[in-house]
């Protein structure tokens, strides 16, 4: 797989510092339309559309760092147990808890202390009792085998330094017949036709800034299948143009190369099933 070689601990440290700082500063994910919106709460407004956010704490919607709405694609049912990989400020956990109802339960897993503290404040403020947040890495989930019906995630798997292990962990905690429904940044096609190498392109992007760690569609399919998933579907929801990419944090690419990248980075919905 021709993705950028990364050091797991340094990558995790950079991601934790980046998003911890975002919480303290009150910014959105990429600071631009790269992840779906701009301004403190425009991301949630853009991505969640008609979803009723009235009873969701402002800090949860204002700190929405995603690229989609996994609760809208997961088909959650009352009584289901859900795990949110990289739960951030807790917006998707709170929305999922509403959908699964009092007979269901939602676990949010995140590695960043600032995020966990914010999520717990939001859960308490919203009066949600069928949800909990746990500290951990998504490559090593603090949950037992076969405990969940659904795995959701919102623009987080692309941040993992070991995506294959992350998907194996998702498979492990799902019950047979369980499903994965995530939103993520995915590359349509590949980067092999560019005047510079794929490694150089990825090195010019901030890993924590949403897109440097993105898999291609074929790579995502391969890793899902290797983890044991079947019924794999990857649906493109939005393509990022050159202007959107140009606003991504940490970007250091010339304008002509950005034009060549336009449309390749996408916000996509990924579905798969554990047999």
Given this model, what pLDDT does residue 167 score? 98
Its sign, for the CA torsion 15, 28, 68, 94, is positive
**Residue 2 is assigned to a structural domain of this protein:** no
**Residue 91 is assigned to a structural domain of this protein:** yes
- Give the count of domains, the chain: 1
Q: What domain range is 127 assigned to? A: 8-273
What is the mean pLDDT, run by run of 10 residues, along the chain of 275 residues? 55 63 57 39 64 78 77 96 96 96 98 93 96 97 98 93 96 98 93 77 57 88 98 94 71 77 90 98
Given this model, what pLDDT does residue 102 score? 97
Closest CA to 84 of 29, 131, 45, 52: 131
Given this model, what pLDDT does residue 37 score? 38
Its sign, for the CA torsion 145, 73, 59, 267, is positive
CATH number of the domain enclosing 190 = 3.40.50.150
**Residue 3 is assigned to a structural domain of this protein:** no
Given this model, what pLDDT does residue 48 score? 79
- The secondary structure element, H or E, covering residue 245 is helix 242-246
Given this model, what pLDDT does residue 61 score? 73
- The secondary structure element, H or E, covering residue 124 is helix 113-126
CB 265 within 8 A of CB 239: yes
The single-letter DSSP state of residue 36 is: T
Write the CB contacts of 155 (distance below 8 Å, at least 6 apart in sequence): 29, 35, 65, 66, 67, 68, 183, 184, 185, 210, 267
**Residue 188 is assigned to a structural domain of this protein:** yes
**Residue 87 is assigned to a structural domain of this protein:** yes
Write the CB contacts of 69 (distance below 8 Å, at least 6 apart in sequence): 47, 48, 49, 51, 92, 154, 183
């Amino acid at each position: 797989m021709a993705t950028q070689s990364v050091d797991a601990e340094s990558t995790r440290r950079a991601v934790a510092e980046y998003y911890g700082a975002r919480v303290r500063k009150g910014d959105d994910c990429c600071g631009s339309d790269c992840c779906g919106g701009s301004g403190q709460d425009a991301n949630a407004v853009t991505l969640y559309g008609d979803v009723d956010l009235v009873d969701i704490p402002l800090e949860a919607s204002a700190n929405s760092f995603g690229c989609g709405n996994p609760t809208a694609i997961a088909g959650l049912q009352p009584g289901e147990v859900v795990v949110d990989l990289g739960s951030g400020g807790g917006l998707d956990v709170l929305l999922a808890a509403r959908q699964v109802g009092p007979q269901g339960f939602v676990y949010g897993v995140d590695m960043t202390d600032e995020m966990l503290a914010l999520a717990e404040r939001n859960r308490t403020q919203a009066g949600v009792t069928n949800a909990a947040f746990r500290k951990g890495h998504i490559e090593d989930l603090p949950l037992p085998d076969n405990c969940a019906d659904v795995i959701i995630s919102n623009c987080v798997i692309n941040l993992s330094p070991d995506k294959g292990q992350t998907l194996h962990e998702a498979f492990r905690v799902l019950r047979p017949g369980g499903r994965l429904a995530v939103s993520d940044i995915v590359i349509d096609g590949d980067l092999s036709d560019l005047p510079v190498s794929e490694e150089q392109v990825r090195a010019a992007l901030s890993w924590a800034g949403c897109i440097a760690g993105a898999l291609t569609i074929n790579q995502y399919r391969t890793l899902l299948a290797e983890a044991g998933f079947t019924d794999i579907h990857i649906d493109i929801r939005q393509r990022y143009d050159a202007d959107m990419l140009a606003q991504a944090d940490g970007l250091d690419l010339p304008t002509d190369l950005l034009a060549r990248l336009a449309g390749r980075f996408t916000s996509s919905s990924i579905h798969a099933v554990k047999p």
